[in-house]
Amino acid sequence: RQPVAVIGAGVAGLAAAARLAVAGHPVTVFEVSGSFGGKMHQFDLPGGYRFDAGPSLFTLPQLVDDVFRLAHREPSDYFRYERLDPITNYFFADGTRLAAWADSQRFAAEVEQKLGTPAAAVTQFLGRSGKAYDATAGTFLHKSLHKAGTYFSPETLKAVAALPSLGLTGTMHARHEKAFANDPRLVQLFDRYATYNGSDPYQAPATLSLIPHLEHGIGAFYPEGGIYAIAQSLHRLAEEFGVKFRFNEPVREILTAGNLVTGVRTDQDIYDFGLVVSNMDVVPTYRQLLPQQPAPERTLGQPRSSSALIFYWGVAREFAELDLHNIFFSADYKREFDAIFQEKTVADDVTVYVNITSKKTPTDAPAGHENWFVMVNVPHDEGQDWATLAAKTRRVVLAKLSQALGVDLELLIKAEKVWTPPGIAADTSSFGGALYGSSSNNALAAFLRHPNFSGRLPGLYFCGGSVHPGGGIPLCLLSAKIVAELIDN
Ligand code: FAD
């Protein structure tokens, strides 16, 4: 088995490194920062608060387990998780509150009681989403879409042909409007799933309306100790299989000779490798590490996904009405997404996501306190005045949450940190600070993502949220699986 260099220790880089090492490759991971995790890192704030910096919603945990099973290890020796119930607490702008229970029947009954839409309409919608997911996921997510074998396989043709009969044409929002015509709050609830890959429900294709099935059909989960435990467990497995981690050592160039990859250059040394996997965002991979190579401009020019403004707050009180995941909706969702995707700014009224891991991991905050991860979806960085936008949004968020919870929230904040799109870009080398690479705002987006391999340079592979099949923890893990399989098959 040939030695492999992996550039970046994000979740996909860790999973790719572990998979390749298990398969017998000597693997070296180069990481610019001092530790692993990338967007999935953790940090502490003074006063005893721990935070997961980035991802907080976790589905398809079996994709993590798969890596341990591949290594013939018992997943629960490395990584444990619980299924969430309720999944999310929703607070609508008109004051209505709703709990999204894990069980679809119970969730549907809650919708009927709180919003008035018959329970049967909800269970039917979720049931259809499940069927459509089963019919399409294998094709669109689990394999490289860009190999002729996948493109023209009978399964792909069958999956594409099935889309109209599964109701998966048109936009996501249109599909939800059709299903729940008289219930704008329920439409808003389901439209929100477009943000799971940084897209706009008013443009994104109806195929994205399969995402709720992940939570309500398969489940939403919380890893013991927080999301960072995913990165920790994969790092531990990788080390056990001999992966070498070179932290604080950014790759400056991917070396080539003719059309062959020959290694990587860092400030410390030149290393020979015939196989290189980039877990770095694909745009800077081409612009910074392969400046002499022609770049796939059409692919790199695809519109970016949204980014986020995150306020990490140590809060000196406990709130019984809140749980791990809480959403406070804006009054005008269309306005909010137009601001993000058309005007590239932040609306005056925003939907606020509050994630509190101390609800599940009490040591994440001192007794009687909570650690709040408060996130607003915003456009990717195009040079906006983020200091002004962050200050304005902070005021809006404080007013909204204070009103909904009947407190003066600002007085309770004992520690604070803010992460802006330029900060996300600088800390993780993600182009424009986009959370999920390119957006999925058109029907062809899945096909226009960068493949998991280079067509020009055999030996060069790509994993992570900016390439196929997309951003978010499960898809990043699938990209690592696809890359490991492409290398060895
Ligand atoms: P990244 O995390 O992007 O890591 C890439 C790594 O490469 C970094 O460690 C970087 O330092 C390193 N690197 C870059 N350049 C170089 C170089 N030249 N040399 C060496 N190393 C380099 N997903 C979900 O599933 N659920 C969520 O709830 C969710 N919420 C999110 C909220 C936020 C605020 C953010 C930021 C992301 C969120 N995501 C969520 C998305 C998810 O975090 C990402 O899709 C995923 O973690 C990206 O992993 P990755 O493997 O692509 O690598």
Between CA 31 and CA 10 the distance in angstroms is: 9
pLDDT for the residue 169: 79
Q: Among 28, 51, 266, 280, which is best to mutate for testing ligand 1, by the most ligand atoms less than 8 A from CB?
A: 280
- Which tokens hold the place of 353? 């996501």
Homologous superfamily of domain range 4-40+57-81+224-302+439-488: FAD/NAD(P)-binding domain (3.50.50.60)
Between CA 128 and CA 123 the distance in angstroms is: 9
C-alpha distances (whole Å) from 266 to each of 22, 33, 251, 287, 289 are 26, 13, 5, 16, 10
pLDDT for the residue 207: 85
What residues does 37 pair with on adjacent strands? 10
Positive or negative torsion for Cα 425, 429, 432, 436 = negative
Rg of the chain in Å (alpha carbons) = 22
Query: Which are the contacts of 99, defined by CB distance < 8 A and separation ≥ 6?
Result: 86, 88, 89, 90, 110
Is 198 a pocket residue for ligand 1 (Cβ < 6 Å)?
Answer: no
DSSP 8-state symbol, 37: B
pLDDT of 152 strictly over 60: no
Average pLDDT value for the chain: 94
All structural domains of the chain with their residue ranges:
4-40+57-81+224-302+439-488, 120-218, 306-379+382-419
Between CA 204 and CA 19 the distance in angstroms is: 33
Is 7 a pocket residue for ligand 1 (Cβ < 6 Å)?
Answer: yes
Q: Among 6, 7, 35, 39, which is best to mutate for testing ligand 1, by the most ligand atoms less than 8 A from CB?
A: 39
Is 310 a pocket residue for ligand 1 (Cβ < 6 Å)?
Answer: yes
CB 430 within 8 Å of CB 281: yes
pLDDT in tens, 390-405: 999 999 999 999 999 9
pLDDT of 100 strictly over 60: yes
- Which tokens hold the place of 117? 């839409």
Mean pLDDT along residues 38-65: 98
pLDDT for the residue 182: 87
What residues does 188 pair with on adjacent strands? none
Is 471 a pocket residue for ligand 1 (Cβ < 6 Å)?
Answer: yes
Distance 428 CA to ligand 1 centre (A): 6
Determine the 3-state secondary structure of 379 from DSSP: coil
Between CA 148 and CA 331 the distance in angstroms is: 46
Phi, psi of 355 (to 5 degrees): -115, 130
Question: What angle, 0 to 180 degrees and rounded to 10, lies between the N-to-C axes of helices 172-179 and 184-191?
Answer: 150
Is 429 a pocket residue for ligand 1 (Cβ < 6 Å)?
Answer: yes
Distance 40 CA to ligand 1 centre (A): 6
Is 433 a pocket residue for ligand 1 (Cβ < 6 Å)?
Answer: no
CB 442 within 8 Å of CB 129: no
Helix (H) or strand (E) holding 312: strand 307-315
Q: Which of 412, 418, 445, 415 is nearest to 433 (CA)?
A: 418
pLDDT in tens, 124-133: 999 988 888 8
Comparing 107-116, 162-171, 301-310, the range with the smallest average pLDDT is: 162-171
Is 423 a pocket residue for ligand 1 (Cβ < 6 Å)?
Answer: no
Indicate the residue type of 125. Answer: F
164 preceded by a cis bond (ω within 30 of 0): no
Between CA 440 and CA 449 the distance in angstroms is: 9
Is 227 a pocket residue for ligand 1 (Cβ < 6 Å)?
Answer: no
